[in-house]
Amino acid sequence: MTKELLLSGRSRDGLYVLSQSSTTSLPQAFLSTRISTSADVWHRRLGHPSPRILHFLVSNKKMSCTSKYFDFNCSACPLGKSSRLSLKTTGHQTQGPLNLIFSDVWGPSPMLSSDRFHYFVIFVDAHTRFIWFYPLAAKSDVFTVFHRFQAQVERQFFLKIKSVQTDWGDEYRKLNTYFKIIGIHHRVICPHTHEQNGMVERCHRHIV
């Protein structure tokens, strides 16, 4: 407003580079604390920082803000910060136990267990959400472990496993042939789409 020269410098590759030697006044010249505005405007001006950062700036008197609360609703933030689009719910419902089993292997662990296990596999029933946990020394043990799991649950529930959903990892490809022989429907998720197996992925995070 006073027409005072604040900075001067040469352009480099189409941009004006602000160096220490180009400043003619204190760094406070970049920010005017006299003009107070809402938290939503500051949020857009400063490149969409989180409410915690805005609260820190206001509480330390780095800027003046008219808003008392920083729970603004910014539609651009979830779009810009999400790594991939979320999947819609399928609406699929199971009618009873063992109608659909989710399975996935976690590992390798950064350290061995006391029994020298490096991985674990879990089986999650889509109807009851019950989890069966089996430690593994190697991923190739999944084939043997599934036979133990199948024998146990089918005897306890007096039911047969109808469907199993997994990724297409090497540990499940051998099982795919076994599923075809005994009549279990093998549901395979799309490559690099682990959110399709979201139920068992969330169980992994809880266990870890």
Domain-located, residue 6: no
Predicted confidence at residue 21, as pLDDT, reads 60
Sites in the chain below the pLDDT cut of 70: 18-35, 81-87
Predicted confidence at residue 89, as pLDDT, reads 73
For residues 73 and 113, membership in a common domain is answered with no
Predicted confidence at residue 29, as pLDDT, reads 45
Predicted confidence at residue 158, as pLDDT, reads 94
Predicted confidence at residue 101, as pLDDT, reads 94
Domain-located, residue 181: yes
10 burial type by CB count under 10 A (0-12 exposed, 13-18 middle, 19+ buried): exposed
Domain-located, residue 56: yes
Domain boundary among 19, 53, 81: 81
For residues 161 and 128, membership in a common domain is answered with yes
Are 97 and 160 contacting, i.e. CB atoms less than 8 angstroms apart? no
Domain of 76 in residue numbering reads as 11-81
For residues 30 and 77, membership in a common domain is answered with yes
Q: Which parts of 8-162 fold into alpha helices (H)? A: 39-45, 51-59, 76-81, 142-157
For residues 110 and 188, membership in a common domain is answered with yes
For residues 109 and 63, membership in a common domain is answered with no
For residues 63 and 151, membership in a common domain is answered with no
Q: In which residue are the tokens 């399928």 written?
A: 90
DSSP H or E run through 177: helix 170-182
Domain-located, residue 68: yes
Predicted confidence at residue 150, as pLDDT, reads 96
In the chain, pLDDT over 90 holds for what percent of residues?
37
Looking at the 3D structure of the chain, how many domains does it have? 2
Of 147, 173, 140, nearest in space to 161 by CA: 147
Domain-located, residue 47: yes
For 126-183, write each residue's pLDDT tens digit. 999 999 999 999 999 999 999 999 999 999 999 999 999 999 988 999 999 999 999 9
